[in-house]
């Protein structure tokens, strides 16, 4: 059996190595259009400030290690089309410009997504996105060679925020632009206020309702007429699934995203898809579709696909809760469940609680705020979100576990937390949310 | 309706204030044999080093606040017997020696447990236990007045460990005695090794297989013949439910513990019991009995009892998972589920995993070890335990939530953690335990 994998990051490469463990004889070929594979893309921003101290720490597996695992990796090779009738991919060697066809028995589509860019700045030498290891190298090189003192980050999604934090910690002046008034719109407006405060506190200049319209050298003109200095520009304005190459195939797509079934299969019975380009559904609200461009879902689905390739169909994908978290300087913000938009047609009550993350008399106790959206009929938590300096990740994990297991707010009061004064309270915030929700329903 | 409550800490006092919220007219009378009520007993040790900086931070509610809530508190009043036929308690005023009877309509028994003491040292002026606020005051006074430089802590349960840590952090020389070879026997032997290392690292002298046999001034003779200096002795060798006063009543007890039903009721239909002196069962293994002398269960049952008193029977107690955690200097150890002894007749496999608490390339990533005991038939987690510098509480909370909701190791692989490099890994340790368990079963 010959397995061809398009994309050598969290999705594709995890399938490769998981399947290799289950099957030592099949041929595994990976094509990736970028120069590097198998690195920790979530960790890239943290190298900018040397919070991750060594670039090599970001490499999960080297090409040699992959070769020794019997995984045949071709970097700078872009798959430009898929022929699902005759089972081959057409590949362009980006170094030589040559194209060739390569047949497969099973195909894994893990192309990821492309960072969006703004026409006014995208062609400038100082303009970058940060998705891949070579982007990081280019940014590093540019900062060093040009002794960059001031950076402009465009976009306040999680990449924009992480990059702004890291460049600031590196010592650069940082301006961050948001095209409207909503910073980190993944999260409720009230929880984005503390993010703005962190910017203020840390000397990051936030420009709301600002879009670049013209770049002249390092002079960036904004839509409000203001001209700012832009020695370095990092664009972080969202992503688009990189699935154009599938248009010539019969793989069904939905707005560029590839729907997959419980085994990660597309509509074609020997083509799987995984990673940022797929569309799945919420586990707790199965009729609603969701795409989650994060590493956790890719790793999980990789396991399911690898097993299915090995003819073990006991593991099934049953949707995602779309849990995410972001650290921004001293605060963490995060959410579980439906997006704010997906909540719109639901019938819910809102319950909020703010209390210390641990016993209030302990040093370092910090206020933590959580908000849950509870379905009026099922009493399940549709969405939870929150902010705090400490302990948010723990509570999102509790709520995620409860929700995945089908729990309701009635179960919330009985969640027995590991309590000692350095860790929590005898009435933890998740318990209190349960009491409040029951009272309100 | 007149409610009499025996014991004014987590159990009894929480019933009092919860019930007061639900019912503003009933008379609520609390008797406590100790001088103070409504303080954070879990926090007491942390004042010894001033980690909790103010004694007043340990006071939950003052006598005035309680009075304003309409809760009539009598401290230094010991209930010495209960007449459940005629519905009255006999109370001894410890200040005057007088006794009197007080009738009740409903009675809450929350007497707590008594710290055990060793005959050879208990009568010495420098010997203390640490259960109540006045014990803390006595210890503080003794240390100050006698300029204590060296303390002996007897016992390596959680109180002994917390006290040894706190006295050491205060700057005292500390020797800790354990009568056998097992330090913190709540936890697996391999997880107690790092506790010993913390003692070593922090200059605490551990004496195993050591029991005090004679005290002469400050010279303490151990069973091995060694004589050590003992200017201050803190005994922390376990507790016994303080239920002797019930012997004359018809309240059923089991080895001194009071079994309660789903509403916290004893066998007598107007007598409830709560706190360290009760016996309940494991939620996930209901045929096994357990007593958990911690604040979380007391707070939870207080809510159920208060509602039941207010004629709302929708909340029910369905057992405990017995989750506990202890911080000792730089490490945390903890467990969920069956005790090691209660595991003995179960049919399980053991799965272990050690990995970093978050992405390994992030600074401050620390190894975390978890061990789960999985029932071979139900695939449920009977017990989980672990050790680590960071993130143990979060994983115990996830496992506790999963187990309470009836989850199995098959669900473990799908627990969607809040992932970003500062918080966890795309394959969190709980996911990995799931993969390993499934492979092994």
The 3 state secondary structure assigned to B392-416 is HHHHHHHHHHHHHCCCCHHHHCCCC
Looking at the domain assignment, is residue A104 inside a domain?
yes
Active-site entry in B23, B40, B42, B415: B42
Nearest Cα of chain A lies from the Cα of B10 at a distance, in angstroms, of 9
Q: Is the pLDDT of residue A63 over 90?
A: no
Looking at the domain assignment, is residue B318 inside a domain?
no
Are A189 and A225 in the same domain?
yes
Are B273 and B210 in the same domain?
no
The whole-angstrom separation of Cα A226 and Cα B254 is: 79
Q: Is the pLDDT of residue B61 over 90?
A: no
Q: Is the pLDDT of residue A288 over 90?
A: yes
- Number of helices (H), then strands (E), belonging to chain B: the values are 12, 26
Last residue of a domain, one of B235, B270, B299: B235
pLDDT at position A60, please?
A: 87
Are A171 and A188 in the same domain?
yes
Q: For residue A400, give Cα distances in angstroms to A321, A415, B398.
A: 7, 12, 9
DSSP secondary structure code for residue A308 in this structure: H
Residue A352 sits in a domain of what CATH number? Answer: 3.30.390.30
User: Residue B142 sits in which domain range?
Assistant: 117-235
H/E element holding A297?
helix A295-309
The whole-angstrom separation of Cα B58 and Cα B140 is: 15
Are B252 and B109 in the same domain?
yes
Sequence-separated (6 or more) residues with CB below 8 Å from residue A255: none
CB A427 within 8 A of CB A400: no
Are A121 and A104 in the same domain?
no
CB B258 within 8 A of CB B251: yes
H/E element holding A14?
helix A10-22
The whole-angstrom separation of Cα A296 and Cα B427 is: 7
Nearest Cα of chain B lies from the Cα of A76 at a distance, in angstroms, of 26
Looking at the domain assignment, is residue B77 inside a domain?
yes
Would you call B411 an interface residue with chain A, using a CB distance cutoff of 8 Å?
yes
The whole-angstrom separation of Cα B135 and Cα B393 is: 29
Q: Which residue of B has its CA nearest to A323?
A: B418
Would you call B13 an interface residue with chain A, using a CB distance cutoff of 8 Å?
no
Are B130 and B106 in the same domain?
no
Q: Would you place residue A61 in the very low, low, confident or very high pLDDT band (cuts 50, 70, 90)?
A: confident
In tens, the pLDDT along A71-114 reads 999 999 999 999 999 999 999 999 999 999 999 999 999 999 99
Are B123 and B182 in the same domain?
yes
Work out the number of other CB atoms within 10 angstroms of the CB of residue B389: 17
Q: What angle do CA B376, B378, B383 make, to 5 degrees?
A: 70
User: What amino acid positions of A are annotated as catalytic residues?
Assistant: 42
Shortest CB distance from A323 goes to which of B40, B158, B418? B418
Are B26 and B77 in the same domain?
yes
CB B367 within 8 A of CB B355: yes
Q: What is the dihedral of CA B206, B207, B212, B214, to 10 degrees?
A: -100
Are A422 and A372 in the same domain?
yes
Residue B131 sits in a domain of what CATH number? Answer: 3.50.50.60
Are A226 and A248 in the same domain?
no
CB B385 within 8 A of CB B362: no
Question: How many structural domains does chain A have?
Answer: 3
Would you call B17 an interface residue with chain A, using a CB distance cutoff of 8 Å?
no
Last residue of a domain, one of B206, B235, B264: B235
- For residue A141 the two structure tokens come to 């090189």
Would you call A439 an interface residue with chain B, using a CB distance cutoff of 8 Å?
no
Q: Do B421 and A43 touch (CB under 8 A)?
A: yes
Q: For residue B56, give Cα distances in angstroms to B44, B291, B295.
A: 11, 30, 19
* Phi, psi of B264, rounded to the nearest 5 degrees: 80, 10
DSSP B79-104: EEEEETTTTEEEEEETTT--EEEEE-
CB A389 within 8 A of CB A330: yes
In tens, the pLDDT along A310-324 reads 999 999 999 999 999
| H-only helix segments in B111-263 | 119-122, 133-146, 158-170, 189-201
Strands B71-74 and B77-83, sheet pairing: unpaired
Looking at the domain assignment, is residue A315 inside a domain?
no
Nearest Cα of chain B lies from the Cα of A82 at a distance, in angstroms, of 29
Are B108 and B246 in the same domain?
yes
In tens, the pLDDT along B371-395 reads 999 999 999 999 999 999 999 999 9
DSSP secondary structure code for residue B282 in this structure: B
The whole-angstrom separation of Cα B324 and Cα B340 is: 13
Shortest CB distance from A405 goes to which of B40, B327, B402? B402
Looking at the domain assignment, is residue B269 inside a domain?
yes
Q: Which residue of B has its CA nearest to A404?
A: B415
In tens, the pLDDT along B351-378 reads 999 999 999 999 999 999 999 999 999 9
The whole-angstrom separation of Cα A426 and Cα B294 is: 9
Are B255 and B191 in the same domain?
no
- For residue B246 the two structure tokens come to 């019930």
DSSP A199-265: HHHTTEEEETT--EEEEETTEEEETTS-EEE-SEEEE-S-EEE--GGGTTSS---BTTBEE--TTSB
- ipTM score for this prediction: 0.96
Looking at the domain assignment, is residue A314 inside a domain?
no
In tens, the pLDDT along A152-208 reads 999 999 999 999 999 999 999 999 999 999 999 999 999 999 999 999 999 999 999
Q: Would you place residue B62 in the very low, low, confident or very high pLDDT band (cuts 50, 70, 90)?
A: confident
Looking at the domain assignment, is residue B328 inside a domain?
no
Last residue of a domain, one of B235, B262, B279: B235
The whole-angstrom separation of Cα A11 and Cα B242 is: 59
The whole-angstrom separation of Cα B300 and Cα A356 is: 18
Looking at the domain assignment, is residue B270 inside a domain?
yes
Sheet holding B258-259, edge to edge: B258-259, B278-281, B289-290
């Amino acid at each position: 059996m010959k397995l061809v994998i398009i994309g050598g990051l969290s999705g594709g490469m995890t399938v490769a190595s998981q399947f290799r463990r289950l099957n030592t004889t099949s041929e595994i070929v990976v094509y990736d259009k970028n120069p590097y594979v198998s690195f920790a893309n979530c960790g890239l921003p943290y190298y900018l400030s040397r919070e991750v101290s060594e670039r090599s720490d970001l490499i999960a597996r080297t090409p040699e290690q992959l070769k020794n695992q019997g995984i045949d990796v071709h970097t700078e090779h872009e798959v430009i089309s898929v022929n699902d009738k005759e089972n081959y991919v057409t590949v362009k060697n980006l170094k030589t410009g040559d194209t060739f066809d390569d047949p497969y028995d099973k195909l894994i589509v893990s192309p990821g997504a492309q960072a969006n860019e703004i026409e006014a700045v995208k062609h400038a030498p100082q303009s970058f996105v940060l998705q891949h290891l070579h982007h990081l190298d280019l940014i590093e090189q540019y900062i060093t060679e040009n002794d960059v003192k001031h950076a402009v980050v465009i976009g306040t999604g999680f990449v924009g925020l992480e990059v702004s934090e890291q460049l600031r910690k590196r010592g650069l002046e940082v301006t961050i632009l948001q095209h409207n008034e909503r910073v980190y719109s993944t999260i409720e407006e009230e929880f984005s206020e503390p993010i703005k405060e962190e910017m203020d506190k840390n000397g990051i200049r936030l420009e709301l309702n600002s879009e670049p319209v013209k770049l002249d050298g390092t002079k960036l003109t904004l839509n409000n007429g203001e001209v700012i200095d832009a020695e370095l520009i990092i664009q972080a304005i969202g992503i688009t699934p990189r699935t154009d190459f599938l248009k010539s195939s019969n793989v069904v797509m939905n707005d560029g995203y590839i729907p997959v079934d419980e085994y990660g299969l597309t509509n074609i019975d020997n083509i799987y898809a995984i990673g940022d380009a797929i569309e799945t559904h919420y586990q707790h609200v199965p009729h609603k579709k969701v795409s989650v461009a994060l590493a956790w879902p890719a790793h999980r689905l990789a396991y399911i696909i690898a097993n299915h390739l090995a003819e073990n169909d006991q593991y099934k994908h049953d949707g995602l809760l779309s849990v995410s978290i972001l650290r921004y300087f001293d605060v963490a913000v995060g959410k579980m469940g439906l997006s704010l938009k997906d909540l719109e047609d639901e019938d819910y009550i809102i319950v909020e609680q703010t209390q210390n993350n641990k016993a209030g008399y302990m040093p370092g106790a910090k206020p933590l705020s959580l908000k849950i959206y509870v379905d009026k009929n099922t009493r399940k938590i549709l969405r939870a979100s929150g902010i705090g300096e400490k302990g948010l990740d723990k509570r999102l994990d509790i709520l995620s576990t409860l929700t995945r297991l089908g729990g309701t707010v009635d179960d919330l009061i009985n969640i027995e937390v590991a309590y000692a004064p350095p860790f929590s309270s005898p009435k933890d915030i998740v318990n209190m949310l349960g009491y409040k929700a029951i009272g309100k329903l």
